[in-house]
Amino acid sequence: MPRYAGPATYARLPRLDEVGAADVAVVGVPFDSGVSYRPGARFGGNAIREASRLLRPYNPAQDASPFALAQVADAGDIAVNPFDIHEAVETIEGAADELLATGARLMTLGGDHTIALPLLRSVAKKHGPVALLHFDAHLDTWDTYFGAEYTHGTPFRRAVEEGILDTSALSHVGTRGPLYGKKDLDDDAKMGFGIVTSADVMRRGVDEITDQLRQRIGERPLYISIDIDVLDPAHAPGTGTPEAGGLTSRELLEIVRGLASCHLVSADLVEVAPAYDHAEITSVAASHTAYELTTVMTRQIADTKGADGRTPTPGR
């Protein structure tokens, strides 16, 4: 089957209903009712799936065949109400609970960043308060927008308030751009977040930054949340709130690879808006980032099970 043909599951993987159970479930959340600027991320999950057709079974950067190390399957999309944010948040949390109860880790494709809150709630039920690495141009720790407490700019403030994050191990990576005021940074620091700006990555380099992040995380269960706008608009134009001066796709991929020793329990990748994405640049970057995150998870699962799985195997 040519790679451009056939069902558009993530990386041409089997559907979850075809294999019955999975160690890593790739699940879409087509929801963008929490955005404050340009909409369209509800179409992001399927755009990432389409761009992932060219992914191959062997990952040389991590010397692993992720889909041979553990069962990875596409769990389809969580059907959420686009008109009621509160109901949508509850639906996402419930669906994540069901998937995590099977023993799977989640690789979630958004959708806007509102979805991180219910996903973190679900993960914390299983692991307790988790360490968080948040890759984003923005803090996403604001209080409300127009009086709304659930938006794509508020999930991590709500998560801190609810006690589902380990506040000794919280980091933003790639932040940049104007804020509403210095109080934004002061409030963020009070919540326990450390900040690695995109300029820090440029000046200090990927290896030093990644080592700093690993030390902060330690052996805690880790959740990674990636807003694709952490990348510079040259590398990710297809997003709702672009900011100049971001990471390159190479820097993002290298940082994720450098976190392979961390205990990654689940992850999300959000804010891909294909309507603004020239030549699928953003979707391709997102598909490769999800691939690296999935590889990290499957390597850890294989190590736990005592599997080898390093030999490349044919893809579907």
Which tens digit of pLDDT belongs to each residue from 124-166?
Answer: 999 999 999 999 999 999 999 999 999 999 999 999 999 999 9
61, two tokens: 């950067």
132, two tokens: 């968080």
Asked if 166 and 220 touch (Cβ cutoff 8 Å), the reply is: yes
Tell me the average pLDDT across 45-53: 98
pLDDT at 306: 76
Distance CA 225, CA 139 (A): 12
User: What's the mean per-residue pLDDT of the chain?
Assistant: 96
Residue 235 counted as an annotated binding residue: no
Distance CA 41, CA 110 (A): 7
Residue 113 counted as an annotated binding residue: yes
Percent of the chain, pLDDT > 90? 96
pLDDT at 314: 34
What's the one-letter identity of residue 288? H
Tell me the average pLDDT across 183-208: 98
Distance CA 56, CA 314 (A): 8
Tell me the average pLDDT across 214-234: 98
pLDDT bin (cut points 50, 70, 90) of residue 310 is very low
pLDDT at 119: 99
For every residue of 2-20, which 3-state class applies, written as one string?
A: CCCCCCCCHHHCCEHHHHC
What's the one-letter identity of residue 21? A
Q: Where are the alpha helices (DSSP H) in 142-280?
A: 155-161, 182-190, 198-204, 206-217, 249-257
Distance CA 44, CA 103 (A): 26
pLDDT at 221 over 50: yes
pLDDT at 315 over 80: no
Q: Where are the alpha helices (DSSP H) in 4-84?
A: 16-19, 44-51, 66-69
What burial letters (b/e) apply to 195-221, b meaning 16+ CB within 10 Å?
bbbbebbeeeebeebbeebeebbeebb
**Domains along the chain with CATH numbers:** 10-305 (3.40.800.10)
Beta-sheet strand order (sheet of 165-175): 72-77, 24-29, 105-110, 263-270, 221-227, 130-135, 165-175, 193-197
pLDDT at 313 over 80: no
> Which stretches of the chain are assigned E, i.e. beta strand?
24-29, 72-77, 105-110, 130-135, 165-175, 193-197, 221-227, 263-270
> Which stretches of 239-306 are assigned E, i.e. beta strand?
263-270
Which tens digit of pLDDT belongs to each residue from 81-139?
Answer: 999 999 999 999 999 999 999 999 999 999 999 999 999 999 999 999 999 999 999 99
The overall pTM is greater than 0.85: yes
Residue 227 counted as an annotated binding residue: yes
Residue 229 counted as an annotated binding residue: yes
